[in-house]
Structure 1
Amino acid sequence: MAGIMDTVNQRTQLVGQNRLELLLFRLHGRQRFGINVFKVREVLQCPKLTSMPHSNPYIRGVAHIRGQAISVIDLSLATKGKRIENLENRFIVIAEYNRSVQGFLVEGVERIVNIKWEDVMPPPKGAGRTSYLTAVTEIENELVEIIDVEKILEEISPASTEISEELRSAPEGRDWSETILLIADDSAVARNQIKRALEPLGIPMVTQKDGRDALNWLKEKSKELGGDISRVVPLMISDIEMPEMDGYTLTAEVKADPALKNMHIILHTSLSGVFNQAMIKKVGADDFIAKFHPDELAGAVRKWLGVDVSAENASQ
């Protein structure tokens, strides 16, 4: 197990290269699943769990690890699979999502693989278990499924999308009805959370499911407008982890395009632990916000829209 995690400390080297490392694991049978190593703190053989009366049925108990009580979620149950048995022979993946630490109970852990984001594809459309996938990829001629952890966490403990009263109005300075906020995120749960939180601002929003789609939409919009899009699309809120093109690469592409570069970019991600500030600056992002705090997000939106207004006033 130590060998599997030896590369975790090197994971930041992949940031900005449109690559990721996946920790491969199994729930039941031969099907392999993946989780981004960047979110993984450690992998442990499942310790003794303390039961929690009246807790969500997906939570198998609490593990006491390094002085911290961590809820352990049965990933198989949470994705509508069979309950994982024989816990003494199973593993928990300790991961940090959305400003909190969780343990994910899995049947077995394999190894870490290094792949390109362009080889990670949106999941096939369908019902059942596929609704819990955020992406798929192929490794050694076998399909690896990447679970939408944000959907699972939302079902267990829904995040509030309410913003403070003082933020519940459109930013002053101009009529925002013809303005578009672009949201790029591969998780449908995250896209809906952002929309609900920002709706009180009264600014129209367009969503895209990954970086490639967002970039294509922006390029088409710039052709439609005949150049600089920043007065119509002054701000994009983008996830970092997305199939086909990650948020860092998307940001770099936007900032390299003369018609797009004046748009502000907020990177909004469930990578709430250690993150690469140097890379955020290198690709030209304006802000970084860990998911999910509606007031922080709404405040950042108002801030960066206000920068545009100030710039307009200064030029007059």
Structure 2
Amino acid sequence: MESNKGILLDSGTNELELVEFLIGENRFGINVIKVKEIIQPVPVTAVPHSHPNVSGIIELRGEVLPVINTAKALQLPEAELTRADKFVVTEFNKQKLIFHVHGVTQIHRVTWDHIEKPSSMYQGLESHVTGVIQLNEQMVLMLDFEKIVVDIDPSSGLTLDRIRKLGKRERSNKKIVVAEDSPMLRKLLKETLEEAGYTELELFENGRDALDFLETASTESESLTDSIHLVITDIEMPQMDGHHLTKRIKEHPALQALPVIIFSSLITNDLLHKGEKVGAAAQVSKPDIDELVALIDQYIL
């Protein structure tokens, strides 16, 4: 896996590489950027009273890491361990986790505009699916790994306590555009930003919808920055990712003055250069919502 990390060197191309894996007969995908390595399963040490979706822990190169039973987390049938099973070692949201899957097939290079948002018929607020793509005549579902983790450990998500510590403030005259594909995180972002005083929010589930809104607003206003003050964007989103959205904003004459803050589980030292290259004003790792609010204060006061 390590050899694949440098393939997508350009920023803002709206491309990604995803690792296709299996849970039973179901095909799922994870962004290769989140994957540190893929290993053969090893014996797992059970931890008393741990969450039902956590199989236990293993030691990997001096680190003790939790192993998540992905099938159980998705409420899919579990299976006996076979030679095809794999442990997918991941890193996102500043933590390393292992996901037990029933097989890894291949790596695909695709564009985000080929990934469709899930239909409301089967998505729902609690869905673990953030995108759907057809590959080799098979449907591959993009999983919301952050939601799987928050289901296990709610404290790893956005919490209002961090915002309340910042104190009361009045920000209702400041309008913010938010692009975030996860229904759960959109809801949490709305609640936490409103708690911080930012009540004028326009929320979108992908970068393309956010850009369409901004471009339309720019044609209807002589000075867009008088009516819209800042953009917050995730990186991984169907249709248009956050890096490409930022690049498009910074290339648009009427939008380029808008500060863009990237708020993503993929903010690492290895990836900061991508956000910098497309012109992001700042980059914050989820779930550091207090740091995000402090940066919003800084850029739109």
**TM-score, scaled to structure 2:** 0.92
Partner of residue 203 from structure 2, selected from 192, 202, 207: 207
Structure 1 match to 2:217: 221
Structure 1 match to 2:183: 188
Q: Give, in whole Å, the separation in 2 of the partners of 1:292 and 1:168.
A: 19
Number of aligned residues: 296
Please give the secondary structure, in 2, of the residue aligned with 1:285. coil
Structure 2 match to 1:66: 61
Deviations 1:37-76 (A, max 9, x none): 0010010111110001111111111111111111111111
Q: Give, in whole Å, the separation in 1 of the partners of 2:115 and 2:219.
A: 28
Is 1:157 equivalent to 2:156 in the alignment? no
- What are the residue-to-residue correspondences of 1:127-276 with 2, within 5 Å? 127=122, 131-158=127-154, 159=157, 160-165=159-164, 167-170=166-169, 176-203=171-198, 204-224=200-220, 226-276=221-271
Q: Give, in whole Å, the separation in 2 of the partners of 1:126 and 1:14.
A: 36
Structure 1 match to 2:24: 28
Q: Give, in whole Å, the separation in 2 of the partners of 1:104 and 1:14.
A: 28
Q: Give, in whole Å, the separation in 1 of the partners of 2:129 and 2:106.
A: 20
Structure 1 match to 2:115: 120
- Structure 1 spans left out of the alignment, 5+ residues: 307-316
What is the letter of the counterpart of residue 77 of structure 1? K
% identical equivalent positions: 32
Give the conservation status (yes or no) of the 8 Å contact 2:163–2:196.
Answer: no
Deviations 1:289-311 (A, max 9, x none): 011112111111111113xxxxx
Please give the secondary structure, in 1, of the residue aligned with 2:225. coil
Q: Give, in whole Å, the separation in 2 of the partners of 1:242 and 1:162.
A: 27
More helix by share: 1
Is 1:105 equivalent to 2:100 in the alignment? yes
Q: Give, in whole Å, the separation in 2 of the partners of 1:211 and 1:279.
A: 16
- What are the residue-to-residue correspondences of 1:50-89 with 2, within 5 Å? 50-86=45-81
Please give the secondary structure, in 1, of the residue aligned with 2:226. coil
Shift of 1:14: 5.1
Please give the secondary structure, in 2, of the residue aligned with 1:16. coil
Is 1:8 equivalent to 2:7 in the alignment? no
What is the letter of the counterpart of residue 19 of structure 1? E
Deviations 1:95-123 (A, max 9, x none): 11211111001000111111111111111
Shift of 1:167: 2.0
Q: Give, in whole Å, the separation in 2 of the partners of 1:124 and 1:274.
A: 35
Q: 1:53 to 1:15 in 2, by over 3 A?
A: farther
Give the conservation status (yes or no) of the 8 Å contact 1:150–1:189.
Answer: no
**TM-score, scaled to structure 1:** 0.88
- Structure 2 spans left out of the alignment, 5+ residues: none
